[in-house]
Amino acid sequence: MTATTETVSTATAPRGRGGAAQSVTDSLVMAKRNLIRMARIPEVVIFGLIQPIMFVVLFSYVFGGSITIPGAGTSASSYREFLMAGIFAQTVTFATAGAGAGIAEDMHKGLIDRFRSLPMTRGAVLTGRTLADLVQTALTLVVLAVVALLVGWRAHDGIPKALAGFGLLLLLGYAFTWIGALIGLSVRTPEAATSGGLIWLFPLTFISVAFVPSQNMPSFLQHIAEWNPFSATVVACRDLFGNLPPGYPVPDAWPMEHPVLASLLWSVLIIAVFRALAVRKYRSATA
């Protein structure tokens, strides 16, 4: 009897009208819902701001002056400018854990089942969540940029290029929230989603050119760091911000020679692959 009831309930659940316009509308509604929830829990946003600010201060004043930057030596001010693109990129990618935990929490509380009863497109729940996370990431970047200015960071190549750099950062962050969405759908609890969203991010961000030049690494790690999608965005931002010192050697790797294009390609590829996987997982998890 229970199986029959569940079958009838699934069969009679209203479906969205479909189409691109309906998908966009549903996604924006879900994004608004998530933003309202974030606004009602401000401590989540506040704690999300504290960690990157701590990274800026600690890396700037603890490691600044002790790490050699090709073309600039061990200048503390040069290291701060070299560092900031890496901190920005690390901050946007760490939004992965929040996205995964949020979706896992909705699954755990049964909210996803309630959404299924509404006439909306299947991908709207995930797209709305990732868009809301993108807004939070943008807010975090604004605050972080102000802190960076206070410790001496500057963008030297003008506002348009600086905005382009921040655009690449947001695109990378949005791409990684889809990885978080897939993780959130694949685990049973929000705690597992948080752990699963962070454990692989640390080697990804540290085996990169975010905090030290790849020339300072062992040869086998240099190739990993230079082909790391995270590194492509970091180098692209340094280029757009004008933060590379004169005479800085460009590694002999295609992503390092064409960082802006490589960053765009990596981010678009990650979105395409992981959005498809996440939507497929969502359908199978709630079928």
| pTM across the whole model | 0.85
Alpha helix segments (H runs only) across 94-123: 95-109, 111-116
123 found inside a domain: yes
9 found inside a domain: no
Q: Write down the pLDDT at residue 151.
A: 85
179 found inside a domain: yes
248 found inside a domain: yes
Please give the chain's pLDDT, 287 residues, in tens.
444 444 434 444 444 455 678 888 888 888 888 888 777 777 777 777 787 888 888 877 777 667 777 766 567 777 888 889 999 999 899 888 878 888 888 777 777 777 777 777 777 888 888 999 899 899 889 989 998 898 888 898 899 999 999 999 999 999 999 999 999 888 888 888 888 878 899 899 999 999 888 887 888 899 999 999 999 999 999 999 998 888 788 888 999 999 999 999 999 999 999 999 998 888 876 55
Query: Using CA atoms, how far apart are residues 109 and 150, in angstroms rounded to an integer?
Result: 42
Q: Write down the pLDDT at residue 251.
A: 86
Q: Which residues contact 255 (CB under 8 A, 6 or more apart)?
A: 226, 227, 229, 231, 232, 235, 262, 266
11 found inside a domain: no
Spacing of C-alpha 120 from chain mean position: 26
Q: Write down the pLDDT at residue 33.
A: 85
2 found inside a domain: no
174 found inside a domain: yes
CA distances from 34 to 125, 130, 131, 133, 150 (A): 10, 9, 9, 8, 32
164 found inside a domain: yes
Q: Write down the pLDDT at residue 19.
A: 67
Query: Using CA atoms, how far apart are residues 164 and 110, in angstroms rounded to an integer?
Result: 40
Amino acid at 31: A
Task: Give the structural domain span for 247.
Answer: 22-285
CA distances from 157 to 43, 79, 161, 243 (A): 36, 18, 6, 9
* Domain tally, the chain: 1
Half-sphere exposure of 262 (CA within 13 A, CB side): 20
